[in-house]
Amino acid sequence: MGARNILTKTLRYAGVSAPRGEKSPCINKMFLIGQSEGFDQAASGSPTSAKSAIHSLLANMHQSIHVGVNSGWSTVTSVVADRLGGRTTTPVQRQSRKDPMDRRVFLKHSLAAATAIALGTRPKIVAAQPAKALTIELFIRNLVNPVWTYAGLGADRAAQEIGGVTIAHATPTKSDDVEEQTRLVEDAIAKKPDGLVFSPVDFKALVPAVQKAIDAKIPVIVYANDMPDLRGAVSYIGAEDETIQYLVSKYLFATLGGKGKIVYLEGTPHAATTVPRKNGLSRSLKEFPGIELLASQTGLYQRRPALDVMQSLLTRLPTIDAVVCANDEMAIGAVEALTAAGREKTLVVGIDCIPDATVLIRDGKILASADFSPHDQAYLAVIAMVKHLHDEIVPPRIIMPVKIATKLNVASWLMPVERRPPPVWFEVLAAQKKAG
């Protein structure tokens, strides 16, 4: 490959996944793609032009980048320039203060990297001494709703891809139990892990316990269910529950032609998602005055309670055009009740895109589901925690974009969760920045 082809691309920091077919013996998933933009000096592709490009790179170079390695995310000696040919590249993370690099070593490897880029050869990235292995404690809400099992899979997947990271699973034996989760947090504090990735069963009741962890200098990243009263958390990674319910409800109401009678199956009282999702429904109802809300009852975010509630509603409400559910487990329960009653024409929407629900979308029994994906949130939360532990800057809030699965596009959700492509760190941040 000529110098022109290599030196006319943008130098960027790739967050999670490498280009297909490219692997480094030193790094695992977090790496530097050596691409640059604006090297007019290398236009001819000649050795002289390549030499000029090297001098230009070194003259402008003043930052290093920290990337993950198989042996526990040590600092590697890759370099970037933030001004190339008068054009400014995207910002990069600062070098970890925990792994200071000797200036001579830095310049030596910088020159090697620049030479490789200019001459079209692949640089060898040499890792520093391995950092210590990290232990991150993951908290989920229950084992009844499969999305929390998927959260565990997402965390494990990120740890495996990073390398040198162990996920300790704080697994509950009771569903959404405040006392048990409080005890699990206290146990975690005593073990002193490197960080907690936490989703609360109650966004207020768990604040005191989690605050103790933060006060004990254990970094905490909250995912899936926000804890706005918590002080000092590294970041919150999740979806905006009001928005996700608002959008899937709007999709349903538009499908109904703006007219119809509906019921709402809401979540567990005190769960962080319940109130904002109900607010999202209210927001969408204001935009569709022809939609009438007949009833709103809790299905406890579970299939069987939702089925029971739906059966009761069907006996006293002769006309129900649609059912809005705050998650897929309740949507499946509603479908089972509607099928048993012979009222399959009633439309149903949910949230989560769990496999059982996406199969029903494919088969036309559920209209749509919004992808909440604790799997992706836990995956990103582990990456964010490792970045934080190596002194990289992590945004205080990372909000996942809303995706709605329908019969037209459900194919990508039909594969097992662990086989779906994981989110890419820098792409998520870029999408968030673009959304404003």
Specify whether 86 is located in the same domain as 200. Answer: no
Number of domains, the chain:
3
Specify whether 175 is located in the same domain as 114. Answer: no
pLDDT, position 13: 28
pLDDT, position 1: 46
407 domain residue, yes or no: no
Does position 31 have pLDDT exceeding 80, yes or no?
Answer: no
Specify whether 92 is located in the same domain as 151. Answer: no
Q: What is the pLDDT of residues 77-131, one digit of tens each?
A: 333 323 223 333 333 333 343 443 444 434 444 444 444 444 343 333 222 333 6
Specify whether 202 is located in the same domain as 245. Answer: no
Specify whether 182 is located in the same domain as 279. Answer: no
Q: What is the pLDDT of residues 36-69, one digit of tens each?
A: 333 333 333 444 444 444 444 333 433 333 333 3
34 domain residue, yes or no: yes
279 domain residue, yes or no: yes
Cβ atoms 364, 335 nearer than 8 A:
no
pLDDT, position 131: 65
138 domain residue, yes or no: yes
CA-angle at 395, arms to 276 and 18, nearest 5°: 110
356 domain residue, yes or no: yes
Please give the model's pTM, rounded to 2 decimal places.
0.69
Specify whether 54 is located in the same domain as 143. Answer: no
Specify whether 149 is located in the same domain as 45. Answer: no
Does position 2 have pLDDT exceeding 60, yes or no?
Answer: no
Does position 431 have pLDDT exceeding 70, yes or no?
Answer: yes
Specify whether 323 is located in the same domain as 358. Answer: yes
CA-angle at 172, arms to 171 and 176, nearest 5°: 135
Q: What is the pLDDT of residues 127-149, one digit of tens each?
A: 233 368 999 999 999 998 889 99
User: Helix (H, G, I), strand (E, B), or coil: what is residue 255?
Assistant: helix
Mean pLDDT of the chain, nearest integer: 78
219 domain residue, yes or no: yes
Task: State the amino acid at position 205 in one-letter form.
Answer: A
296 domain residue, yes or no: yes
Specify whether 273 is located in the same domain as 333. Answer: yes
Specify whether 249 is located in the same domain as 353. Answer: yes
Give the CATH number, domain containing residue 306. 3.40.50.2300
DSSP state of 216: T
Domain boundary among 337, 370, 403: 370
Q: Which domain does 181 fall in, by range?
A: 134-238+374-392
Task: Say how many C-beta atoms besides its own lie within 10 A of residue 389's C-beta.
Answer: 20
150 domain residue, yes or no: yes
Cβ atoms 125, 112 nearer than 8 A:
no
Specify whether 216 is located in the same domain as 165. Answer: yes
Q: What is the mean pLDDT of residues 335-351?
A: 98
Specify whether 199 is located in the same domain as 84. Answer: no
